[in-house]
């Protein structure tokens, strides 16, 4: 067998093996982290902001139901006056809008719905659970998750949402001792290139 044929077959079988890799997402509400897994091994970790009290993100086993790159909420957003000034920053679609004003739906780009109206998407992370049930991620991580998952990809949500703010909790690129990804069978679970970014500091 010639080297060229052997190389061609190697590339073909490598591609087939890559297509067969099992992708999954795990979301830890207590740690406020999401993990992208390939064949059971975490390849990307992202800080998140999940549902706040009154709008908690549901625990359970789900699947990605749909993906939409440019998505806007049909229920939440802000209300602006005739000059475009925000008068209600956290508004519901059924709230009264003043004359000349309007309701502007909240952007939820790179949306990956997994239960009801809730999904993962790019959004603002204040450092603690703050959403209406969705799982917000930094834009660069939302894009990476969006490009990696497909409709049908398993999504597991676990842990309980703790009382209090998360902003004073330090984040590390390495898992905490009680994190399940510290299991020795994962060896070195995180590629340094995919370390979660520090918490955002923009307003």
Residue ranges covered by each domain of the chain? 23-71+108-194, 77-105
Determine the distance from the C-alpha atom of residue 163 to the mean position of all C-alpha atoms in its chain, rounded to a whole number: 21
CA distance 131 to 169: 19
Closest CA to 91 of 103, 78, 101: 78
Q: For the structural domain made of 23-71+108-194, what CATH number should be given?
A: 2.40.440.10
Q: Does the structure show a pLDDT above 60 at 100?
A: yes
Query: What is the per-residue pLDDT across 64-74, written as a single tens digit (0 to 9) for each?
Result: 999 999 877 76
Which contacts of 78-85 are long-range, i.e. CB under 8 A and separated by 24 or more positions? Answer: 78/103, 78/104, 78/106, 79/103, 79/104, 80/104
Calculate the alpha carbon distances from 92 to 18, 66, 70, 102, 106 in Å.
43, 23, 20, 12, 10
**Which DSSP symbol is given to 67?**
E
Residue 109: closest CA among 84, 85, 134, 126? 134
- Residues 67, 58: Cα–Cα separation, whole Å: 19
Q: Output 97 or 29, whichever has higher pLDDT.
A: 29
Q: Is 116 exposed, middle or buried (0-12, 13-18, 19+ CB in 10 A)?
A: exposed
Residue 14 has pLDDT above 80, yes or no: no
**Number of Cβ within a 10 Å radius of residue 46:** 25
Out of 90-99, 128-137, 184-193, least confident range: 184-193
Q: How do residues 141-152 score in pLDDT, each as one tens digit? A: 999 999 999 999
Query: For the chain, what is the radius of gyration of the CA atoms?
Result: 20
């Amino acid at each position: 067998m010639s080297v060229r044929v052997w190389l061609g077959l190697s590339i073909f079988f490598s591609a087939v093996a890559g297509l067969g890799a099992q992708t999954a997402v795990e979301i830890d509400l207590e740690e406020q982290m999401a993990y992208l897994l390939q064949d059971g091994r975490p390849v990307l970790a992202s800080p998140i902001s999940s549902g706040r009290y009154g709008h908690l993100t549901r625990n359970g086993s789900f699947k990605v139901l749909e993906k939409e790159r440019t998505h806007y909420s049909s229920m939440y957003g802000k209300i602006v006056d005739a000059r475009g000034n925000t008068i209600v920053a956290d508004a519901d679609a059924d709230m009264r809008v003043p004359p000349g004003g309007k309701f502007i739906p909240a952007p939820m780009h790179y949306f990956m719905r997994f239960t009801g109206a809730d999904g993962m998407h790019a959004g603002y992370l204040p450092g603690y659970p703050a959403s209406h049930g969705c799982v917000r991620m930094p834009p660069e991580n939302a894009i990476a998750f969006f490009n990696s998952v497909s409709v049908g990809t398993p999504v597991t949500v676990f842990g309980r949402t703790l009382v209090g703010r998360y902003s004073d909790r330090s984040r590390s690129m390495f898992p905490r001792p009680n994190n399940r990804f510290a299991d020795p069978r994962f060896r070195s679970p995180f590629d340094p290139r995919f370390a979660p970014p520090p918490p955002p500091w923009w307003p």
